[in-house]
Structure 1
């Protein structure tokens, strides 16, 4: 005991001091410190009710005052739980371990207490229950009932009634018989009920055994050894148990809708989690999700299916990674993936612990998309009979295709970086449930004063657990009005930052403002040629900055392999990129790519189609418009292997093949995968920094006919970005698999 006191008491003094500094009532803090750090030592051996009452009796009246800094996430948990409810009135709510009734009072700020049919607060401490009763009586809430009993014995007054919502706020960690408590809850809910928990926890990756990947709570779940040891000892001192088995059993008995791992940074980084769950089988909803994952696209097939089986689609069952993961989990008696409990079908299951994803350091690269979708649509003549596979990137182009008057019938977004798809999910969720004004603030201005509130109360039901965790962690940092905004995030933020620095260093800020106000190409050319161009393309400046490999990668996203493909030198390449743009389109109102780089935001007349009023209407109001999109967190090869052969009509792969090593096998493997999934006559559209990319010959050797759709020469532009030297369309003539089997070539007559 003496060694424990040596560890605990100094830390207790530090915490008490922190609370005194941040809390106006020193007396309340003194009471808190006495009851929490000293008095409980003599009551370790008493029964649970006596121990709780001894602990809380002396601090019941000041409990809420002293817990504001300690018990984080309660309001977020309440808001999340309500946002996921299917009912909006006549709700039956049970708050287990509700103590003083703080949760219920705060819930009135989220949704009126009058919208609840019944509210039941259950707690074992008479002193806390007395505070709750006085609180509710003062507010005249006749539909709120306080029960001072053991939670494991609680029964609703009407045995036929089932709870719509059950919450546990920092109470599961204090219930000794938590297994029977969770089992009891299973008897009190129906298929559409929501179960919400916020509590302390500690857990290491070693104890997850792949389960957290399934339930969607990976990010920040691991707690290091020192923190695990310290916080476990600290809280056990007051009979609060942080063992991971409580959360594990919770996730085992219920389906996980959302799982968030958080840190209370104001008090030493105490780990806590917010969890939203439901009936594990969800009755008809679960079977719908099972079928949706099994056939998440009418074009998905097993990756290991034989060629003969694939030739006859009616003889095979379509299976996805999500379906396979669930079968494995069921065989091992593990929880089902959280993807089963999404309300939307966009995001396809992926294993977040796959090492391939770790290279991205929990951030996306592209906050906006560089490629010009107007040219994609024109060159490919996209229409309602098309099935498109495209690299997700920031999602702007995919949403442009979906916003067409006659859009493709299915669009597969593919990106190995999970965070690019988190960004795309945010866009889809916003279009699903927000008015145009909010969508514009988030993605047009790149800032929203109420983003975190909107995220929790409106967007969260339409996001996967993984995406919600990402935006809970990063939303304030990226979208708060006090920050530089959404487009100052991701690696492409360097394009905006360096552009601003360049113009500041060259004294061109006022000239850039004039450029952005020009109304004609003639005016634009005048400002460019007289002021900006001479300074920007100064030979010394070009050599030091524009030709620097660090600038190329950080500002323009040009890796070494791609830079090596540039013909004529990088300085000439940059001149050939920017110069012709000035006479092609106005930066002020018809070139949102460069407008964004110069200003850090879009303008209503100069923005991607999905945030124009017309594009918003087509996506948000047109029935089923958003449901045509699927987001795959994977490689093009893997997605192509799971698409039923011959079902894609278009693949838009941007410039990413420029990144491949010419002597490697990645290009031929990807081209073979595309050949398999494309229909005869299907097209691959790509862009390159070279006029004649080395991998075009590989396409031709693998059953494609390749033609340059646009080639950039000095003084000319091929689109509004003009970042690439060429655009190619490669048309599939025959199946390479057929060639390998028969040894003959059967070209398609186009």
Structure 2
């Protein structure tokens, strides 16, 4: 079950707000960055800050195949073809563009994508397990289509809040999310291995309900890319796209695409092998998949490879870890900024995560 999960694309679009993360990491042109790949969106978002190097690491090679394809698309295509190729916009030219991209891929990625051309033909942006689930969810709410349209048509945030309280804050959403968060569905149908690490007394449905309500009170739903995926299953025409998909960043990403190095192995194994020191660590929510001993081992490898006062950003979704308990004896080197962490949780457009952020001291 776990082997299957980590040999398929599970995340293909953007499910983390990198604008919050960039505030923490404060990247410069001299910085060397380690980033967990996931869908590749965060790696590409961080590249908009033009650091010297980003090592994008994932022990799921298929996620790295996806990032390699996205990087090849930046290098080869113009902006309109790029959006069409990924699936942001409709296109019937994807397979016709593929011969330009394949020679730029590492051998293992080229072999993989030649076996999965149907995925490319459909557009890779929504090919992940979670993106498919979100699209299915959006279709199951067709009876509430007018209620979704009402959110999209709100003239301002206050109107949206009022509409939400009138039409969405009742029992429907809570019941739907509790059904969606059923552990049998996650472990047996979606086959999400991280579900086993969620505390049994954690009210997943209630937590998701509060997060989505916060999203409705945070910013305009029609402009929020994470809300677009949740309610529509795709980015609509009114959506403010994630950083790496915006036209104003396209030429810079094309120019700096070669600054990304892709590594397929566990992050602690890579860091323990590497002779480099890194200035910033974008760790995503790796606690969702790391049992306590693995979690501590990864942090030990981060400390070992951190340059003086290296910055870090870590997210927590459904698995919330206490700093001292989870870090063990070395927790004093990890200088978390509580004020900043609270600020990030407030500005984060996904409204799903809590944060651990700050810098690593030398002793």
In the superposition, the TM-score normalised over structure 2's length comes to 0.87
| Correspondence 1:585 to 2:219 | yes
* Aligned 8 A contact 2:215 2:227 in 1: no
Q: Give the equivalent residue in structure 2 for 1:669.
A: 297
Q: Give the equivalent residue in structure 2 for 1:423.
A: 66
Question: Which of 335, 345, 350 is 1:705 aligned to?
Answer: 335
Cα distance, 1:550 vs. partner? 4.0
Larger radius of gyration: 1
Residues 133-161 of structure 1, C-alpha deviations (whole Å, 9 max, x = no match): xxxxxxxxxxxxxxxxxxxxxxxxxxxxx
The residue correspondences of 1:495-644 to structure 2 (distance < 5 A) are 495-504=133-142, 507-534=143-170, 536-538=172-174, 540-543=175-178, 545-551=179-185, 559-564=194-199, 569-589=203-223, 591-603=224-236, 605-620=239-254, 622=255, 625-644=256-275
Residues 705-730 of structure 1, C-alpha deviations (whole Å, 9 max, x = no match): 33434249xxx845111112x20025
| Correspondence 1:392 to 2:42 | no
* Aligned 8 A contact 1:519 1:588 in 2: no
* Aligned 8 A contact 2:5 2:192 in 1: no
Corresponding residue pairs, total: 356
- Partner Cα separation in structure 2 for residue 358 and residue 657 of structure 1: 18
Q: Give the equivalent residue in structure 2 for 1:462.
A: 104
Q: Give the equivalent residue in structure 1 for 2:121.
A: 479
Local SS of the residue matching 1:523: helix
Cα distance, 1:587 vs. partner? 1.8
* Aligned 8 A contact 1:366 1:491 in 2: yes
Cα distance, 1:396 vs. partner? 1.0
Question: Which of 130, 134, 151 is 1:492 aligned to?
Answer: 130
Local SS of the residue matching 1:508: helix
Local SS of the residue matching 2:8: coil
Given the superposition, is the C-alpha separation of residues 614 and 676 from structure 1 closer, same or farther in structure 2, using an over 3 Å criterion?
same
- Partner Cα separation in structure 2 for residue 707 and residue 558 of structure 1: 31
- Partner Cα separation in structure 1 for residue 114 and residue 192 of structure 2: 27
Which structure is higher in helix share?
2
Question: Which of 16, 24, 38 is 1:371 aligned to?
Answer: 16
Local SS of the residue matching 1:729: strand
Given the superposition, is the C-alpha separation of residues 692 and 393 from structure 1 closer, same or farther in structure 2, using an over 3 Å criterion?
closer
Cα distance, 1:592 vs. partner? 0.7
Cα distance, 1:455 vs. partner? 0.6
Cα distance, 1:385 vs. partner? 2.6
- Partner Cα separation in structure 2 for residue 425 and residue 691 of structure 1: 29
Given the superposition, is the C-alpha separation of residues 361 and 375 from structure 1 closer, same or farther in structure 2, using an over 3 Å criterion?
closer
The residue correspondences of 1:706-725 to structure 2 (distance < 5 A) are 706-708=336-338, 709-711=340-342, 717-724=346-353
Cα distance, 1:431 vs. partner? 0.5
Local SS of the residue matching 1:564: coil
Q: Give the equivalent residue in structure 1 for 2:25.
A: 380
Backbone CA RMSD of aligned residues: 2.8
* Aligned 8 A contact 1:710 1:718 in 2: no
Cα distance, 1:626 vs. partner? 1.1
Q: Give the equivalent residue in structure 2 for 1:658.
A: 288
Given the superposition, is the C-alpha separation of residues 530 and 654 from structure 1 closer, same or farther in structure 2, using an over 3 Å criterion?
same
* Aligned 8 A contact 1:377 1:401 in 2: yes
- Partner Cα separation in structure 2 for residue 661 and residue 472 of structure 1: 35
Local SS of the residue matching 1:533: coil
Given the superposition, is the C-alpha separation of residues 550 and 441 from structure 1 closer, same or farther in structure 2, using an over 3 Å criterion?
farther
| Correspondence 1:411 to 2:44 | no
Local SS of the residue matching 1:682: strand
| Correspondence 1:443 to 2:71 | no
Local SS of the residue matching 2:109: helix
Given the superposition, is the C-alpha separation of residues 488 and 681 from structure 1 closer, same or farther in structure 2, using an over 3 Å criterion?
closer
Cα distance, 1:438 vs. partner? 0.7
Given the superposition, is the C-alpha separation of residues 566 and 432 from structure 1 closer, same or farther in structure 2, using an over 3 Å criterion?
farther
Residues 101-125 of structure 1, C-alpha deviations (whole Å, 9 max, x = no match): xxxxxxxxxxxxxxxxxxxxxxxxx
Local SS of the residue matching 1:412: strand
Local SS of the residue matching 2:16: coil
* Aligned 8 A contact 2:136 2:233 in 1: no
> Which runs of no fewer than 5 residues in structure 1 stay unpaired?
1-356, 735-746
Residues 366-388 of structure 1, C-alpha deviations (whole Å, 9 max, x = no match): 11231110000112222223211
- Partner Cα separation in structure 2 for residue 434 and residue 696 of structure 1: 48
| Correspondence 1:686 to 2:329 | no
Residues 48-104 of structure 1, C-alpha deviations (whole Å, 9 max, x = no match): xxxxxxxxxxxxxxxxxxxxxxxxxxxxxxxxxxxxxxxxxxxxxxxxxxxxxxxxx
Cα distance, 1:693 vs. partner? 1.0
* Aligned 8 A contact 1:478 1:488 in 2: no
Given the superposition, is the C-alpha separation of residues 541 and 461 from structure 1 closer, same or farther in structure 2, using an over 3 Å criterion?
closer
In the superposition, the TM-score normalised over structure 1's length comes to 0.44
* Aligned 8 A contact 1:696 1:706 in 2: no
- Partner Cα separation in structure 2 for residue 434 and residue 599 of structure 1: 27
* Aligned 8 A contact 1:565 1:689 in 2: no
